[in-house]
């Protein structure tokens, strides 16, 4: 339905809907009208898609700490200045660096054939020329962990667990445990390497990379992910008898590499020191061009802020757009930002991050004070014509703003439809053609309206429940 | 609908349909009943899927002339003997050999990034370490051919033509022209290499390989196919200005390598010397495991013949199953068979080949004498409950039997639904998980019934039109 929702159709829907927010009485009708106008503009926006196209085309893959990530920061500086944002600058930080060099796997013996794999972020190198060892299959990380001591001595562990597809991406948290922990658990039992079925929901010959847990697993063993059809193949071969695999993973690491966050602002007016932060991450994995993860998120928040800065009057509060660096390899940008801005975190009135692809937003969750729920309800009422339904108040925010949330900064989480997100996530297939322009523009519309409402009101999203509301 | 068509449902449909074939009066009711029973058995068949699973799992990719193709022949001999076929043997022949060793491409200059490519069959090697040159884009092979003489001197031609998706695969014939001819046309204008947008209908990061024309193009230049998203990317970069690509393709060739056709028979009874041939090809491209191209075809025809040989009485005519070798690289197996059996081609009463994936059969085309069209109509009436509609009499047969058709052997062409076939065709993604078991079994059912009718009747499919029917 949304694909054909024109601005005119939206206006008609808005006119026909009960004015929930106004009835609640917390939202100034002028702000409501302006937010609705921003939504209409968002549904026609081209700036966000062009930003995303340009980043994925001109920079392409931009691995944390790499030259390409450096080029992406320079590119972003130019783009954001060209869009007339104020206060465009880079905050530098350093990260430990990891990159893949080669990665191959093949079944040896009577059924020789290559398997499609990719090294996991933090994988160790095998010996030069590779390691050949017998495969031991486990249904889950828990099953691997419960194997007898030394039972994997000289062998390769293979965790063959499938991921559940769901709209909210909740299958990811479950599935990702094996990616984070396989290397450590397998090393503890004497294994020489570990392989996992890719954390993903597709059945293409494209393995999904992703980071290993930095607590213990990182660097513990050579570790790789098999594409789903290759995990199927290995499982079928194992049904026939013992299987040996020759695995060759070579990686390059260094203690320190340059990374950074790129920041741009729409300067506020009467409440200039109060900050509404909207973020995304600029780095990507190296296999694809990082279109849905997360150039799209950057295009969405930049376009939303850009629509607001084009209004005749600046909003009361400052809108800060943060394009985080080095998210994929350990949320370094998020932590660097929180550290650099420790003394003004109490001035951050609200934060949101777009980092779950480019699917349409279907619900609006929050992590705010109980007393501020009426503001979230008012905001939800305004974006309801975009097909966005209310959700709970248990959000911790996106990956890079989680550290802000933990420090008491209220968060909003416009939840994107992630049904297909893990078909592409962290694979070579994460490219610009996968973005649906209509769904993308619905995101711009929602972010523009939500950000504007947060910046133009004097709402305190930290507000505790009042005694009366607690009684109810 | 077909996915839920159980044998019981089929019986109900058959009972409810007007007995078209019987009304025509050309088909013995007992043969009709037996063909219907074979269809019911086909819809429950497991032999074909197991055959396909075993070939794709235990052998995997099996490039023409390779060790893997040799292993596939040994594997097939064992399988076919285990199924109790008579006359199981290999007919050897030799082919010129080509294989890929390495293949990489990357954009150089200000937007450095890798592109996903694969070498085309027959590609020449670049210089060791690769060749770097400017890209010149063309919308079609025709546009390339009409470029001025020497205008591509030292450059890389890029044909960026898209393929049309269609149920009958008719977009392939159009799109494949650029794959066959790019190298020769580009070489004639002084180019150092040619790249094409993959001949395919998907938008995944998986380039489609395939053979170049052996007339002139083969070996003319280094030649590769870009995955669709990479062709998009290159086109977007070219919109921004000149683009250089570094292309490194290394291949290995030899003058002669061993290949062969594997043949198995269900020996006929009263008309034993008359042959109904059903075929497929055993070789595959090297990128995937050749599941839909063409292990599925082999599974389908083997399972169909197997159902017939399990009947209490042998059919009148001999059913010959031919698993052709070296189809992909130039139809060598088809030509070798025709040469080896030149003296008995007139005894081939009908031939059919399954080599268009594992989608359901939606129509039945033929290439028979005008006087034999009533037999095809009778056959079509029998398989109609499988959802198969009549088609025309212009079929030339499948790739390996085309040479038989050209020699006057009548052909039948059960047309599979190819809407999605070119999403997977010649890519790493051609794997067993892509086969829909219900659609596969519908193929087995149709082949079993059609093959049985051809083998159990005394129909002459070469029969010319009678004067009366010509009058009409």
- Residue-wise pLDDT for A437-460, tens only, equals 999 999 999 999 999 999 999 999
Please enumerate in sequence order all residues whose Cβ is within 8 A of that of A8, keeping only pairs 6 or more positions apart, or say none: none
- Mutation pick from B52, B292, B428, B436 vs chain A, by most beta carbons of A within 10 Å, is B428
CATH of A2-96+256-468, one of 3.60.15.10, 3.40.630.10, 3.40.630.30, 1.10.1740.10: 3.40.630.10
Spatial CA neighbour of A203 closest among B204, B48, B395? B204
* Contact assignment for A204 to B204 by CB distance below 8 Å: yes
Q: Using an 8 Å Cβ cutoff, are B387 and B417 in contact? A: no
Does B165 contact chain A (CB < 8 Å)? no
* Contact assignment for A206 to B203 by CB distance below 8 Å: no
Q: How distant is the Cα of A429 from the closest Cα of chain B, in angstroms? A: 5
Sign of CA dihedral A107, A113, A119, A125: positive
**Cα dihedral A92, A93, A96, A100 in deg (nearest 10):** -30
Sign of CA dihedral A82, A85, A86, A92: negative
- C-alpha B234: how far from chain center: 30
Spatial CA neighbour of A193 closest among A159, A232, A231, A239? A159
Mean pLDDT within A337-345? 98
pLDDT at A21: 44
Instruction: Considering only CA atoms, give the Rg of chain B.
Output: 24
Does A288 contact chain B (CB < 8 Å)? yes
* Contact assignment for A434 to B237 by CB distance below 8 Å: no
Q: Which of A106-120, A379-393, B210-224, B265-279 is least confident?
A: B210-224
pLDDT in tens, A200-241: 999 999 999 999 998 888 899 999 999 999 999 999 999 999
Does B436 contact chain A (CB < 8 Å)? no
Residue A357 dihedral angles phi and psi, to the nearest 5°: 90, -155
- Mutation pick from A49, A50, A54, A57 vs chain B, by most beta carbons of B within 10 Å, is A57
* Contact assignment for B61 to A113 by CB distance below 8 Å: yes
Spatial CA neighbour of A49 closest among A300, A419, A382? A300
pLDDT at B5: 44
- Mutation pick from A112, A229, A234 vs chain B, by most beta carbons of B within 10 Å, is A229
Residue the block writes with tokens 């939840």? A415
What are the structure tokens assigned to B100, written together? 């890929």
Q: How distant is the Cα of B289 from the closest Cα of chain A, in angstroms? A: 9
CA–CA distance, A288 with A424 (Å, rounded to integer): 9
pLDDT at A356: 97
Q: How distant is the Cα of A130 from the closest Cα of chain B, in angstroms? A: 19
B151 prior amide bond cis, ω within 30: no
Tell me the CB-side half-sphere exposure of residue B60, using CA atoms within 13 A: 25
Please enumerate in sequence order all residues whose Cβ is within 8 A of that of A128, keeping only pairs 6 or more positions apart, or say none: A250
Sign of CA dihedral B261, B267, B273, B279: negative
3-state SS, residue A462: coil
Spatial CA neighbour of B376 closest among B454, B305, B315, B319? B454
Measure Cα distances from B56 to A383, B62, B293 in Å: 51, 9, 10
pLDDT at A14: 57
Does A245 contact chain B (CB < 8 Å)? no
Spatial CA neighbour of B198 closest among B220, B213, B217, B176? B176
- For residue A61, which residues of chain B lie inside 8 Å, CB to CB? 113-114
Tens of pLDDT, residue by residue, chain B (472 residues): 334 445 556 666 655 555 554 445 799 999 999 999 999 999 999 999 999 999 999 999 999 999 999 999 999 999 999 999 999 999 999 999 999 999 999 999 999 999 999 999 999 999 999 999 999 999 999 999 999 998 999 999 999 999 999 999 999 999 999 999 999 999 999 999 999 999 999 999 999 999 999 888 889 999 999 999 999 999 999 999 999 999 999 999 999 999 999 999 999 999 999 999 999 999 999 999 999 999 999 999 999 999 999 999 999 999 999 999 999 999 999 999 999 999 999 999 999 999 999 999 999 999 999 999 999 999 999 999 999 999 999 999 999 999 999 999 999 999 999 999 999 999 999 999 999 999 999 999 999 999 999 999 999 999 999 876 544 4
Nearest residue of A to residue B55 by CA position? A111
Q: How distant is the Cα of B109 from the closest Cα of chain A, in angstroms? A: 11
3-state SS, residue A314: coil
Q: Give the class (CATH, top level) of B112-242.
A: alpha beta
Query: Could you give the maximum distance between any two Cα atoms of chain A, in Å?
Result: 75
- Among B57, B61, B240, whose Cβ lies nearest the Cβ of A236? B57
- Cα angle B403, B409, B411; round to 5: 90
- Among A116, A288, A427, whose Cβ lies nearest the Cβ of B428? A116
- For residue A427, which residues of chain B lie inside 8 Å, CB to CB? 205
Q: Using an 8 Å Cβ cutoff, are B163 and B171 in contact? A: yes
pLDDT at A11: 60
* Contact assignment for A205 to B240 by CB distance below 8 Å: no
- For residue A433, which residues of chain B lie inside 8 Å, CB to CB? 203, 228-229, 232
- For residue A229, which residues of chain B lie inside 8 Å, CB to CB? 429, 431-433
Spatial CA neighbour of A285 closest among A247, A326, A250? A326
* Contact assignment for B53 to A236 by CB distance below 8 Å: yes
- For residue B110, which residues of chain A lie inside 8 Å, CB to CB? 58
- Among A53, A114, A431, whose Cβ lies nearest the Cβ of B205? A431
Q: What is the 3-state secondary structure (H, E, C) of chain B?
A: CHHHCCHHHHHHHHHHCCCHHHHHCCCCHHHHHHHHHHHHHHCCCCHHHHHHHHHHHHHCCCCCCCHHHHHHHHHHHHHHHHCCCEEEEEEEEEEEEEEEEEEEEEECCCCCEEECEEECECCCCCCCCCEEEEEEEECCHHHHHCCCCCCCCCCEEEECCCCCCCCCCHHHHHHHHHHHHHHHHHHHCCCCEEEEECCCCCCCCCCCCCECCCCCCCCCCCEEEECHHHHHHHHHHHHHCCCEEEEEEEEEEEEEEEEEEEEEEECCCCEEEEEEEEEEECCCCCCCCCHHHHHHHHHHHHHHHHHHHCCCCCCCEEEEEEEECCCCCCCHHHHHHHHHCHHHHHHEEEEEECCCCCCCEEEEEEECCHHHHHHHHHHHHHHHHHCCEECCCCCCCCCCCHHHHHCCCCEEEEEECCCCHHHHCCCCCCCHHHCCHHHHHHHHHHHHHHHHHHHHCCCCCCCCCCHHHHHC
- Looking at residue A98, the DSSP 8-state letter turns out to be E
* Contact assignment for A113 to B288 by CB distance below 8 Å: no
CA–CA distance, B300 with B375 (Å, rounded to integer): 23
* Contact assignment for A205 to B61 by CB distance below 8 Å: no
Q: Domain-by-domain residue ranges, chain A?
A: 2-96+256-468, 112-242
Average per-residue pLDDT in chain A?
Answer: 94
Does A355 contact chain B (CB < 8 Å)? no
Beta bridge partners of A318: A275
* H or E element at residue A440: helix A437-456
Q: Using an 8 Å Cβ cutoff, are B201 and B165 in contact? A: yes
Q: Using an 8 Å Cβ cutoff, are B137 and B250 in contact? A: no
- For residue A60, which residues of chain B lie inside 8 Å, CB to CB? 111-114, 233
Q: Using an 8 Å Cβ cutoff, are B96 and B324 in contact? A: no
Residue the block writes with tokens 């992406």? A72
Does A284 contact chain B (CB < 8 Å)? no
3-state SS, residue A120: coil
Residue the block writes with tokens 């599925």? B296
Judged against a pLDDT cut of 70, whether residue A369 lies above it is answered with yes
pLDDT at A109: 97
Q: pLDDT class for A25, splitting at 50, 70, 90?
A: confident
Does B268 contact chain A (CB < 8 Å)? no
- For residue A206, which residues of chain B lie inside 8 Å, CB to CB? 204-206
- Looking at residue A55, the DSSP 8-state letter turns out to be I
CA–CA distance, A328 with A179 (Å, rounded to integer): 13
Q: pLDDT class for A302, splitting at 50, 70, 90?
A: very high
- For residue B116, which residues of chain A lie inside 8 Å, CB to CB? 428
Does B50 contact chain A (CB < 8 Å)? no
Does A58 contact chain B (CB < 8 Å)? yes
Q: How distant is the Cα of B421 from the closest Cα of chain A, in angstroms? A: 14
Judged against a pLDDT cut of 80, whether residue A20 lies above it is answered with no
% residues pLDDT > 90 (chain A):
91
- Among A114, A205, A288, whose Cβ lies nearest the Cβ of B429? A205
CA–CA distance, B377 with B20 (Å, rounded to integer): 9
Nearest residue of B to residue A205 by CA position? B429
pLDDT at B22: 47
pLDDT in tens, A421-443: 999 999 999 999 999 999 999 99
- For residue B208, which residues of chain A lie inside 8 Å, CB to CB? none
Size of interface A-B (CB pairs under 8 A): 89
Mean pLDDT within A116-140? 97
CA–CA distance, B231 with B196 (Å, rounded to integer): 8
A 183-212 near B (Cβ less than 8 A): 203-206
Q: pLDDT class for A3, splitting at 50, 70, 90?
A: very low
CA–CA distance, A392 with B51 (Å, rounded to integer): 52
**A472 burial via Cβ count (<10 Å: 0-12, 13-18, 19+):** exposed
Beta bridge partners of B98: B253
Does B218 contact chain A (CB < 8 Å)? no
Does B359 contact chain A (CB < 8 Å)? no
Q: Using an 8 Å Cβ cutoff, are A189 and A150 in contact? A: yes
Does A321 contact chain B (CB < 8 Å)? no
Nearest residue of B to residue A53 by CA position? B236
- For residue B118, which residues of chain A lie inside 8 Å, CB to CB? none
Mean pLDDT within A69-83? 98
B 88-117 near A (Cβ less than 8 A): 110-114, 116
pLDDT at A466: 80
- Among B111, B236, B433, whose Cβ lies nearest the Cβ of A203? B433
* Contact assignment for B240 to A206 by CB distance below 8 Å: no
Q: Which of A6-15, A140-149, A259-268 is least confident?
A: A6-15
- Among B60, B110, B204, whose Cβ lies nearest the Cβ of A113? B60
3-state SS, residue A76: helix
Beta bridge partners of B254: B97
**Cα dihedral A55, A56, A57, A63 in deg (nearest 10):** 90
The DSSP-derived string for A171-224 is HHHHHHHHHHHHHHHHHHTT-SEEEEE-SSS--SS-----BPPTTTTTTTS-EE
CA–CA distance, B44 with B327 (Å, rounded to integer): 30
- For residue A57, which residues of chain B lie inside 8 Å, CB to CB? 111, 233, 236-237, 240
What are the structure tokens assigned to B291, written together? 């599941």
- Looking at residue A270, the DSSP 8-state letter turns out to be T
Q: Using an 8 Å Cβ cutoff, are A33 and A379 in contact? A: no
């Amino acid at each position: 339905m949304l694909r054909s929702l024109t601005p005119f159709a939206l206006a008609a829907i808005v006119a026909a809907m009960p004015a929930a927010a106004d009835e609640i009485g917390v939202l100034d009708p002028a702000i409501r009208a302006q937010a609705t106008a921003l939504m209409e503009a968002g549904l026609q926006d081209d700036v966000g898609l062009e930003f995303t196209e340009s980043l994925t085309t001109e920079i392409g893959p931009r691995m944390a700490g790499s030259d390409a990530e450096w080029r992406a920061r320079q590119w972003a500086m130019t783009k954001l200045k060209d869009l007339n944002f104020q206060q465009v600058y880079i905050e530098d930080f350093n990260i430990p660096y990891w990159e893949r060099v080669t990665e191959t796997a093949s079944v040896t013996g009577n059924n020789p054939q290559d398997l499609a794999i990719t090294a996991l972020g933090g994988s160790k190198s095998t010996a030069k020329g590779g390691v050949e060892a017998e495969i031991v299959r486990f249904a889950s990380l828990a099953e691997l962990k419960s194997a007898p001591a030394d039972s994997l001595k000289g062998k390769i562990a293979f965790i063959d667990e499938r991921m559940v597809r769901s709209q909210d991406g909740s299958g990811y948290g479950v599935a990702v445990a094996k990616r984070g922990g396989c290397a450590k658990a397998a090393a503890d039992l004497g294994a020489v390497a570990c392989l996992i079925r890719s954390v993903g929901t597709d059945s293409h010959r494209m393995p999904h990379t992703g980071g290993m847990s930095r607590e213990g697993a990182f660097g513990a063993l050579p570790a790789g992910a098999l594409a789903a059809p290759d995990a199927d193949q290995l499982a079928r071969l194992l049904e026939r008898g013992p299987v040996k695999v020759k695995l060759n993973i070579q990686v390059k690491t260094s203690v320190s590499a340059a990374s950074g966050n790129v920041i741009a602002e729409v300067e506020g007016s009467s409440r200039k020191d109060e900050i509404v932060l909207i973020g995304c991450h600029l780095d990507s994995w190296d296999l694809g061009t990082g279109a849905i993860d997360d150039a799209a998120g950057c295009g969405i928040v930049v376009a939303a802020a850009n629509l607001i800065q084009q209004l005749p009057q600046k909003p009361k509060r400052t809108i800060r757009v943060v394009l985080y660096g080095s998210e994929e390899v350990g949320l370094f940008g998020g932590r660097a930002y929180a550290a650099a801005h420790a003394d003004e975190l109490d001035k951050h009135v609200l934060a949101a991050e777009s980092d779950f692809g480019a699917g349409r937003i279907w619900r609006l969750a929050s992590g705010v004070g109980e007393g501020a729920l009426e503001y979230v309800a008012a905001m939800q009422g305004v974006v309801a014509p975009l097909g966005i339904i209310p959700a709970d108040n248990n959000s911790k925010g996106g990956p890079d703003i989680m550290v802000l949330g933990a420090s008491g900064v209220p968060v909003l989480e416009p939840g994107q439809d992630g049904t297909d997100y893990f078909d592409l996530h962290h694979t070579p297939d994460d490219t610009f053609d996968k973005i649906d322009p209509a769904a993308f523009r619905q995101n711009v519309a929602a972010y523009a309206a939500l950000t504007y409402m947060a910046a133009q009101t004097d709402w305190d999203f930290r507000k505790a429940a009042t005694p009366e509301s607690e009684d109810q």
